[in-house]
Amino acid sequence: MSGAGEAIRVERARKPRATHGFKLDRGLLKKQPRVGDLVSNGSGLQIEATSYNVIPQMWGDWGNVGDSVLISLPKWILEIGELDPDIFYTNRKGVRNKECLSLGVDNQPLFHGRTAIELYTDYMQSFKDNMEDFLKSELMIDIEVGLGPAGELRYPSYTKNLGWVFPGIGEFQCYDKYLKADFKEVALKAEFFKSGGTYKTEKGKFFLTWYSNKLLTHGDEILNKANNVFLGCKVKLAAKVAGIHWWYKTESHAAELTSGYYNLHNRDGYRPIARILSRHNAILNFTCLEMRNHEQPAKAKSGAQELVQQVLSGGWLESLEVAGENALARYDREAYNQILLNARPNGVNKYGPPTLKMYGVTYLRLSDKLMQQTNFNIFKAFVRKMHANLDYCPDPEKYYHFTVPMKRSEPKIPLEVLLEATKPVEPYPWKKETDMNLDVTGFLDYIVAIIVRIFKLKVN
């Protein structure tokens, strides 16, 4: 489950049995520019749970599709931006996005003599120092490293606060002077995405390769620093990839391209990301697990189901642990069934672990609406189905969540080897429906199980 804020307390009596913990993000960043003290000490965190995932958020957050939130960058960063606005992502109209720093300044010493990468490293080191007790407790099972807007490895190509409306394709974010200097010829034209348009020309391919490769390098550098900071800690790193499902069923995949995912029918834009994560033994965290194509407006040209299948398959093909979450708040059986299907695409294996299974699923999010009795009862039934109708087991090793000291990342992967993963491969097959269907019958099964458990308690 996911909650946000600095002081969260969930009573065990209200925590659904068989949920294993909580994901915490936002609210821990201090505002001063001094090195070594960028994170509050976590004294406000009061969590009763068997484990939790943490997102040390190194960026602002202007929300996402279906997620309204506004968290600013620290004031001292914004003050530097007043003098040098090119530290922020910029579109072709000159609109600056102040949600996060441009990856063009990753290695520019513009922040009191320090580079952006050094700031991110300082932040993670400060997080480790201030959260030492939590790390030693071994309840913290993974740390999702923020790599961009909303913590995701992407460009901020679609931002509602700057006028974007779903399902718009968004805009390329490479017009700050630092990225323009890196790419001296801008390959953008008004007709870029038309059928047979610029994106298919040699110039277009060159631009899109550069644009996506910069994102890969950015993520790789930050994860490498994170690995060095948390070396020896009994946690795993994780990185989140955005679910840009709109325009997936078009020739150009335009919304993915502007976000930095160079993904076409003849080019896989996600396996190279998975290959980078494999070097750091990191978890790939994806989203929109609950979505089905027909639920989206026709004009969106959505391929949420195929996208999830492609990204998860790519992660498994690169021998990664794959995790995920729902993109929008949902409380209905149809959404839960889709999550169950994606969590075990080939169903339950009666004789051992499933052939394909997700490492973990985060449910977004803990709210008053979820706690309404009907919604909460359905949610508890969903949690039981996630456990294949088995009783709760608190031992994380039963779920293959072994906590071992983090090892140093593998050597850097040459770019040509990385880009070999762009060759399309057939995704793993998915069942049409989950074998743990949460229909009315499934819900009744849950009620019967509760009655049987109460009866056993009374007998004993």
- How far apart CA 59 and CA 440 sit, in angstroms, is 43
Asked if 325 is an active-site residue, the reply is yes
Two structure tokens written together for 414: 């040459």
Residue 331, CA distances (Å) to 160, 180, 290, 381, 450 in order: 25, 45, 10, 12, 20
Q: Is 68 exposed, middle or buried (0-12, 13-18, 19+ CB in 10 A)?
A: exposed
- Return the closest-CA partner of residue 264 out of 326, 308, 199: 199
Is 267:209 a contact under the CB 8 Å cutoff? no
Would you say the C-alpha torsion 217, 422, 151, 394 has a positive or negative sign? negative
**Catalytic residue flag (residue 132):** no
> Is residue 425 a contact partner of residue 268, using CB atoms and an 8 Å limit?
yes
Assess contact for 87 and 125: CB atoms under 8 A. Answer: no
Per the CB < 8 A criterion, the answer to whether 126 and 37 are in contact is yes
Of the candidates 99, 256, 318, 325, the residue annotated as catalytic is 325
Residue 53, Cα to own-chain centre: how many angstroms? 12
Quick one: residue 388, left, alpha or beta (phi over 0 = left, psi -120 to 50 = alpha)?
left
Q: Which of 99, 144, 152, 221 is catalytic?
A: 152
* Residue with the two structure tokens 């009994």: 234
* Alpha-carbon distances of 266 from 204, 206, 263, 423, rounded to whole Å: 15, 16, 8, 7
CA dist list (Å): 136 to 132, 256, 398, 405: 6, 39, 21, 11
Among 89, 55, 58, residue whose Cα is nearest residue 73:
58
Residue 416, judged by CB atoms within 10 A of its CB (0-12, 13-18, 19+), counts as exposed
Active site members:
152, 325
